[in-house]
Amino acid sequence: MRVVLQRVSEASVTVDKKTISSIGNGILILLGITEGDGLEDIKWLVNKIANLRIFNDDAGVMNKSIVDVEGDVIVVSQFTLFASTKKGNRPSYIKAAKPTIAIPLYESFISEIENALGKKVGTGIFGGDMKVALVNDGPVTITIDSKNKE
């Protein structure tokens, strides 16, 4: 499982010209799921994300977590995070999990992050044609892969 985290001052997801999720201060999470991912990957990533100190304290040092600042989160499924670009110029997405595997894991990830934060999170629409807008704060952008825990 792979995520791209972007600390944002605002973010939104729009589908068919209708905003379905929007947040202020928080994190936009782009979530990629691959074959072999499971509940252990979800729990590890959620714990890492909830406790990652990427928000500024009073001294302007990144020393606070999303929980500490009571920030909001949007989770967007992003199969292209597992694109392979080794051959040619057209990316291959064969490493991305099929929807029958990915959808339940995506839903479990959302449930686990909501439990960790103690509040609802915004989402995109799995497999949907989404327009994601954000103001990256910092900018702070971090990638985490659950297969690279060490």
* Predicted confidence (pLDDT) per residue in 32-50, tens digit: 999 999 999 999 999 999 9
Name which CATH class applies to 2-145.
alpha beta
> Distance between the two ends of the chain, CA-based, in angstroms?
15
For the chain, which residues make up each domain, given as ranges?
2-145
Q: Residue 149's pLDDT is what? A: 81
Q: Which of 14, 19, 80, 141 is catalytic?
A: 80
Q: What is the pTM of this model?
A: 0.95
Average pLDDT, integer, range 108-134:
96
pLDDT digits (tens, 9 = 90+) for 56-72: 999 999 999 999 999 99
Q: What is the percent of the chain where pLDDT is above 70?
A: 100
d(CA 140, CA 150): 22
Helix 39-51 × helix 99-117 angle, to 10°: 40
pLDDT computed for residue 110 by the predictor:
98
Instruction: Let me know if 143 is a catalytic residue.
Output: no
